[in-house]
Amino acid sequence: MRPARLETFLAQLMEAAAPPAVTDVRNFGDSNVMYSAYGLVLTTTSGGTAYTQITAQQRPGDDYNTPEDPTEADTALDPVPVPDLGNDGGVDTTQLLAWLRALVISSGSKEVIGTEAFTGSIPGFKVMFHGGAVAYTNLLYALPAGQNPRPARSSGPQPASEPREESPPVSAPRRRWTDLDPDTRAAVEQRLGSPVVHTRSHDGGYTTGLASTARLADDRTVFLKGIPAEHELADMYRTEAVVNAALPAHTSVPRLWWADDTSTWHIQAYTAVDGRHPDLAPGSPDLPAVVDLLAHLAPALTLCPLPGARTMVDDFADLFTRWHRLADNPPADLHPWYLDKIDAFTAAETAAIDTGDGDTLAHLDIRADNILIDKTGRAWLVDWAWAVRGAAWADPATLIAQLIIAGHTPSAAEQLVSSVPAYAAAPPDAVTGLAIGLTGYWEAEARAPTGPELRAYRERAAHADRAWLRHRLAV
Ligand SMILES: Nc1ncnc2c1ncn2[C@@H]1O[C@H](COP(=O)(O)OP(=O)(O)O)[C@@H](O)[C@H]1O
Ligand SMILES: [Mg+2]
């Protein structure tokens, strides 16, 4: 059973359960949860909320681009007693998973041949299907009445795509071309002027939007990016299209062909780059191309080609408030190095806001998954959703933490980036101010409620920015 159908199957089982245990079940798509393509948000009769993610390993040989052809065993599993979820005002993770798993076992479906519970940082259970497909139901959050997790990417430069080493295998976190409704697909093909014959989804990350390279019948390729038109992030996508369209020619950015709203989807078509993400680790042959990319972009994007762009100063004003929050209520596990510096950092983060002023269009989401290295070794920068008008040194400065995460020492990372003229010319105090602001941001966000993968990313970012900041304050 593919994850899309499993999602509906689980929702129906929960809704039909007796005695009733949930008052509402909706899928991630309808709930604006961007954690992954498939999953369900449930509200229990006690008022609690639970987020269950659905991921899958494809049946060997199954092509998600063709219609599903379910296979069944001769008999269904023997039913088991379904535990009572109780009504104690909270959501008990173990109980909830036992309940849902019992519903699956007792469902009478001949496609299901077994289930297996697992524990760990994300508990859940595995469902094995006749034919070899395996699905994972991962319980991301279980929250008592009145609490809500933050959406994974609600504001500020948050990670869109991160390694998933902590979770069970994930194979289809994004919407695929075949998940689009036929009218949308027809409208896109008409606009492209040729039918789509093959697609490859760029999986990974927290955003569930479409991100696929499509080959067309006339042999062209195109990169398609899309999101349901009513989604809360759809306007961010629309902004990205406006930004891309304003970029000057000959920058190393895949260009927008068109962006369009059908009645249900917002879709963008870009020149496809046949490439891979760079390896940012020390000694990687990709490093010169990445540094070169940033060195060339800053002058090309000064003066800002989109005067009405959002501003870095406004973004910094949103982001650089966290030392104030940490000072009001210092977490017990805050690194001891910070303790005698919180007051100074609180003042410094506010002072850092205005240093973002400038007249360069900055990308502000510089990470390996937004960079592509093509077959000739040239680096391209994609995903301009967060672009702002501001300081020319900010993009290269934010690469430093990414290099540290990839294994560089702070001084080696700075050394590499110092060949970007915009960074070399940056006022050192402004760079330190950015490091202070970002450190506070990540330290606070790493302690905010979110899924384990995103938390792990934020912790890595906090750790890297702290190492960078310690290095800067020591010199
Ligand atoms: N023009 C392109 N050509 C080929 N692949 C691309 C292109 N743009 C983006 N991608 C791939 O798709 C992924 C997601 O696209 P991106 O624009 O970064 O969306 P998101 O907002 O979901 O991060 C990228 O990480 C990259 O692997
Ligand atoms: Mg991206």
- Domain finish residue from 236, 271, 306: 271
Work out the widest C-alpha separation in the chain, in whole angstroms.
72
The answer on 279 and 261 residing in a single domain is no
Average pLDDT over residues 74-90: 83
Read off the amino acid at residue 234. A
Is 372 part of any domain?
Answer: yes
Q: pLDDT for 363-410, tens place per residue?
A: 999 999 999 999 999 999 999 999 999 999 999 999 999 999 999 999
Q: How confident is the model at residue 163 (pLDDT cuts 50, 70, 90)?
A: very low
CA of 46 to the centre of ligand 2 (A): 38
Atom of ligand 1 nearest to the CA of 275: 4
161 lines ligand 1 (CB under 6 A): yes
Answer yes or no: do 260 and 291 share one domain. no
Check residue 153 and give its pLDDT: 32
Q: Say whether 251 sits in a helix, a strand or coil.
A: coil
Sign (positive or negative) of CA dihedral 371, 373, 379, 384: negative
Residues with CB under 5 A from ligand 2 (ion): 160, 370, 383
Length of the chain: 475
Give per-residue pLDDT as tens, 439-465. 999 999 999 887 787 888 899 999 999
Domain presence at residue 165: no
The answer to whether residues 345 and 280 belong to one domain is: yes
Domain match, 267 and 279 both: no
Tell me whether residue 380 is in a domain. yes
Instruction: Kindly report the average pLDDT of the chain as a whole number.
Output: 88
Question: Quick check: 95 and 86 in contact, CB under 8 A?
Answer: yes
Ligand nearest to the CA of 243: 1
Residue-number span of the structural domain to which 248 is assigned: 177-271
**Centre of ligand 2 from the C-alpha of residue 474, in Å:** 34
Which residue's entry shows tokens 């010169």? Answer: 288
Specify if 453 maps to a domain.
Answer: yes
Instruction: Assess whether pLDDT exceeds 50 at residue 167.
Output: no
Cβ neighbours, 10 Å, residue 116: 12
CATH of the domain at 459: 3.90.1200.10
Q: Are residues 77 and 211 in the same domain?
A: no
- Do 285 and 363 sit in the same domain of this protein? yes
Whether 445 maps to a domain, the answer reads: yes
Whether residues 440 and 464 fall in one domain: yes
Residue 369 CA, ligand 2 centroid: distance in Å: 6
Q: Hey, whose CA ends up nearest to atom 2 of ligand 1?
A: 272
Ligand nearest to the CA of 209: 1
Residue 359 belongs to some domain of the structure: yes
3-state SS, residue 262? coil
Q: Coil, helix or strand for 120?
A: coil
Query: 28 with 102, same domain?
Result: yes
DSSP conformation class of 85: -
Q: What pLDDT, in 10s, does the model give residues 300-319?
A: 999 999 878 899 999 999 99
Structural domain tally of the chain? 3
11-20, 78-87, 181-190, 348-357 — which is least confidently predicted? 78-87
Q: 371 and 392 share a domain?
A: yes
- Other residues' Cβ atoms within 10 Å of the Cβ of residue 304: 20
Of 216, 250, 271, the residue at which a domain comes to its end is 271
Q: What is the pLDDT of residues 250-295, one digit of tens each?
A: 899 999 999 988 889 999 999 999 999 999 999 999 999 999 999 9
β pairing state of 371-374 and 275-276: antiparallel
For residue 227, give the nearest of 219, 239, 215 by alpha carbon. 239
Q: Is residue 170 part of a domain?
A: no
Is residue 126 domain-shared with residue 181, that is, in the same domain? no
Confidence of residue 100 (pLDDT cuts 50, 70, 90): very high
- Check whether 133 has a pLDDT greater than 90: no
Do 126 and 28 share a structural domain?
A: yes
Under 8 Å between Cβ of 364 and 315? yes
For the CA of 237, the nearest ligand: 1
How many other C-beta atoms are found inside a 10 Å radius of the C-beta of residue 266?
Answer: 24
Confirm or reject: Cβ of 160 under 6 Å from ligand 1. yes
Which one of 238, 255, 271 terminates a domain? 271
| CATH label of the domain that carries residue 221 | 3.30.200.20
Tell me, yes or no, whether 466 and 344 share the same domain. Answer: yes
The reply to whether 155 falls in a domain is: no
For ligand 1, say whether the CB of 241 is within 6 Å of any of its atoms.
no
Cα 168 to middle of ligand 1, angstroms: 23
